[in-house]
Amino acid sequence: MMQEVLPLLVFQTDFTYMEGAVASMYGVVRSVSRDVEIITATHDLPQYDIWSASYRLQQYVEFWPKGTVFVSVVDPGVGTERKACAACTEDGYYIITPDNGSLTHILRKHGIAEVREIDETVNRLASTRGTSVFHGRDLFGYCAAKLASGKITFEEVGPAYPVQEIVTMPVAEPVFRGTDVSGIIEIDDPNFGNVWTNIPLKEFQNAGYAFGEDVHITIEVGGQTAFDEIVRFDRTFGNVAEGKPVLYNNEQMNLSLAVCRGSFKKTYGIGFGADHIIRIGKTNA
């Protein structure tokens, strides 16, 4: 008889590997079941940055097998009244996370069919009830391990509550006025220093732009101009000279800015956030 294949268990946190948090969290999973495969997405999310946690989930969830269980823990409100939840997306993924805004992008991109509050009386690690500051280990990791191993069903996680009550953060929408396009720098690529906008490639091309042309880009940060240059819009980094900026479409099919073999973020001092406004126009406008 063929052995049942258990769902994968994928973790992202802001814990880092500088001390024992990740090891103890994974140890709890192994104590529940040695058959659940643990995968690390990242433990280097920016500290307390719920926005990054939300964005990174929607960056990769769709590429995993349906039924995969994801644990996302960026939890500055750990131990407070915020809900600890498990969400089932409309396309069949499970997200175990604090309900603090971390489901914002998943809700928009995948939809959420059902959300349940984790019942701590049965789905919390009993031996650690004296502490309220490590729910990644004691609640989220433990409950996710029980769910992925089949020791509990999704319905046994805890009571359901309305999807409409999920905590979300505001998400800016790009604006198109003819060939004048504006949006925000939504996130960065911290390793290579690229910055990603919320402007979709398809809509940008529909506004009259084509690969290979030069465009006028300005970026304002907190109302102050931080970048004002003519930049090549092209398919990839190597289509401009080394050290030159390029506007390209990233793997999320949104417009992004890079420096060929360099860091746009470091070169121009550009971060990300709702106050990072990018405007793009024709050079002959």
Angle between helices 142-149 and 21-32 (to 10 degrees): 30
pLDDT tens column, 246-257: 999 999 999 999
What confidence tens digit (pLDDT) does each residue in 59-90 have?
999 999 999 999 999 999 999 999 999 999 99
Q: Is residue 30 domain-shared with residue 146, that is, in the same domain?
A: yes
pLDDT tens digit sequence for 18-54 = 999 999 999 999 999 999 999 999 999 999 999 999 9
Same domain, 43 and 72: yes
Q: Read off the CATH number of the domain in which 96 is found.
A: 3.40.50.10790
CATH no. for residue 259? 2.40.30.90
Domain limits for position 276: 175-282
Residue 3, pLDDT above cutoff 70: no
Over residues 203-223, the mean pLDDT reads 97
% of the chain surpassing 70 pLDDT:
99
pLDDT score recorded for residue 112: 98
In angstroms, what CA-CA distances link 7 with 18, 71, 111, 125, 137?
A: 28, 13, 20, 21, 19
Residues 148 and 188 both lie in one domain: no
Q: What is the pLDDT of residue 2?
A: 53
* pTM listed for this prediction: 0.94
Average pLDDT over the chain, rounded to an integer: 96
Q: Is residue 88 part of a domain?
A: yes
User: Which whole number is the average pLDDT over 145-156?
Assistant: 98
Q: Are residues 138 and 76 in the same domain?
A: yes
